[in-house]
Amino acid sequence: MEFPKPCLETFRINGPVRIVVTLFGRISTLNCNSEEFFMPAAATTTLDLSESILQSFAVNEKVNQLLLKNVSPGAWRAEPLGKTGRAIAEIFAHIHNVRLMWLKAAAPDAPQPDKLERLTCTPSEVSTALAESAQACSSLIRLALATPGGRVKNFKPDAVHFTAYLMSHEAHHRGQITQPARQAGYPLPKQTGFAMWEWGTLAKTP
């Protein structure tokens, strides 16, 4: 036996929403407050914005390390096409050293990681240095987020913009790194290119 499908209509007449259901020729109505009836239940958890910002910066560093790990040794100091610009090793050193510049400006009395020598640094040295400067920047950002106004010394307007600034700067140079690697005949593995955008996955990894 095939049962008829109910007919559902919703309309408002100078007041609450009225739901009209027609089934087997019978009409049933339900009056309800639109906000209570249609709005989803409130979330059971509240986003900790400060922790989310810090986690975003941590994922950004994981992307740096992932890229570094997958740069071929043959591309590390390959001369850029046209002999202009930086080699890959120099770009990675620049990312680290710019972090140090801001750490010195914002927290001159705090311990500072060592600077990288752009012409001699190895992938292993870069990996260690980036991890150290990322941790130092994270500590600076955490401290700023916990203070009224979220100020970072010598940077305007606040710690959220400071974090976005660092991440944008580093993403820009990650794009630059892929180009000389490809030009030197050592393109990044396709899987690495995809993995660099899997922030949800990277956020769950240690």
| Half-sphere exposure of residue 197: CA atoms within 13 angstroms, side-chain side | 5
Q: Residue 79: its pLDDT value, please?
A: 87
| pLDDT tens column, 177-193 | 998 899 889 999 999 99
Tracing tokens 């922030």 back to the chain, one arrives at 199
Q: What is 49-204's CATH topology?
A: Four Helix Bundle (Hemerythrin (Met), subunit A) (1.20.120)
Q: Where are the domains of the chain?
A: 7-38, 49-204
Cα→Cα distances 186→65, 76, 84, 179, Å:
18, 10, 19, 10
Please count the helices (runs of H) and the strands (runs of E) in the chain: 7, 3
Read off the pLDDT band of 44 (50, 70, 90).
low
In eight-state DSSP terms, residue 14 is S
Which of 46, 47, 50, 52 minimizes the C-alpha distance to 147? 50
| pLDDT tens column, 100-148 | 999 999 999 999 999 999 999 999 999 999 999 999 999 999 999 999 9
Q: Residue 33: its pLDDT value, please?
A: 55
